[in-house]
Amino acid sequence: MAKVKTAYVCNDCGSDYAKWQGQCSDCGAWNTLSEIRLGPARSTKAASGGGRRSGFAGALAQARVLEEIDLADLPRFSSGAEEFDRVLGGGLVPGSAILVGGNPGAGKSTLLLQTMCHLAKSMEALYVTGEESLQQVAMRAQRLGLPTDKLRLMSETSVEAIIAAAEQYKPKVLVVDSIQVAHSEDISSAPGSVSQVRECAAYLTRFAKQSGTVLFLVGHVTKDGSLAGPKVLEHMIDCSILLEGSHDSRFRTLRGQKNRFGAVNELGVFAMTEQGMREVKNPSAIFLDRSSEPASGSAVMVVWEGTRPLLVEIQALVDDSQLGNPRRVAVGLEQNRLAMLLAVLHRHGGLQLGDQDVFANVVGGVKVLETSADMALLLAIVSSYRDRPLPRDMVIFGEVGLSGEIRPVPSGQERLSEAAKHGFGRAIVPKANAPRSPIKGMQVIAVTRLEEALAAID
């Protein structure tokens, strides 16, 4: 009987050690090492000879001269949804591994089931579910009105059985829902553990690379919104996308966090309906669903998400504080940046808000990560403090420096063009982003200092 070996793996970064220690030497985390049992290693004869893995594990790697490698574009193909293709970088790449994460009920399985039913009409596709029965998936497909005559469906959690089925049917697209319930027979730990997730993901990714199969792995997220499992999981795959959305809203945002074949932080917008996930062609329209009456503390900004501009409303509320330490709350924005911008507003705008509670919110659940929202946020705060509504046809964007200067942001011309398409007639922008030729129907106010921006709204 072969001797069972043990190892200690860090739950945060996936590094392994021969014996237990209090701190992980790679990531510096404390008390994150857990013991796992490793199966006996296969002999070279067994790996290259018989057994059910012979067709996959026995393949010999061949090296090629760098000059001989074809530099033609990768043959992408569409997933059937433009918003999905946008986040993926233009479509699906053969041999790529894609990790789709999100909260329970966000719509991960629904989106992938719709995509697989569409792709199955023109190519071989295999959907493997480990969390639901075949009847449950079939009931969802029937409820959504999807074509079910081509897609192959399989209920399995063993990664060896999944690979054996993939070698038999040779699908061009493979979905494993989810990686947390998959397990390998060579590892004695329970499904969902660090070792199981790491080894199963590595095994499936290696199969996808060698066979040219597009692999979708469904992953769960933790309470803080990060993907569950070892960090090494994100390094194995080619693309990591996150499906976000609150339960009280029917809109879902699909954001790219890592992509070897396209832009990072690309954003796709979907709406959850009775017929499943429907892509939103014009996201700016849903984020600009404002009230008919002018309201103080509301401003419209133009943010850049991936490869396109997006018009989003930002709201601010300034109120007398009843606490000794006034609150600074930011939803959809970085809270530390809000505190910094309030200090800039006090120093260079002459507005003291030290005794006021300040709340900031990005409408629609969008998370703004770039600094182009600085000037819009400050002007919305000033509008709420003075109780003076900003013009409804005005858009604002620009970065605010610590010395009160207004810095330019990338793609200023494209942002203004997008605002003009939605009927906005005025814009406050950094001077470096002012258009060289006038934009028809739009008055552009170019500013270089925060004082000039405040004077423009008086």
Binding-site residues from annotation for ATP: 102-109
C-alpha separations of 426 from 288, 422, 446 in Å:
16, 12, 11
Task: Please name the amino acid found at residue 301.
Answer: M
How are beta strands 125-129 and 152-155 bridged, if at all?
Answer: parallel
Structure tokens at 306: 């991936």
Strands 356-362 and 276-279: unpaired
CA distance 311 to 308: 10
Does residue 249 have a cis bond before it (omega within 30 degrees)? no
Question: What secondary structure letter does DSSP report for 155?
Answer: E
Region of residue 336 (phi > 0: left; psi between -120 and 50: alpha; otherwise: beta): alpha
Tokens 């003076």 label which residue?
388
Nearest 5°: the CA angle 424, 425, 427 is: 85
Query: What residues are designated binding site?
Result: 102-109
Q: Are 141 and 171 in contact (CB under 8 A)?
A: no
Distances (CA, A) of 251 to 54, 83, 248, 268, 272: 46, 13, 9, 11, 6
What are the C-alpha distances in Å from 116 to residues 146, 161, 185, 302? 10, 20, 28, 34
Of 86, 174, 72, nearest to 123 by C-alpha is 174
Q: Enter the tokens of residue 73.
A: 């574009």
Q: Where are the alpha helices (DSSP H) in 101-222?
A: 108-119, 134-144, 159-169, 194-211
H/E segment holding residue 283: helix 283-287
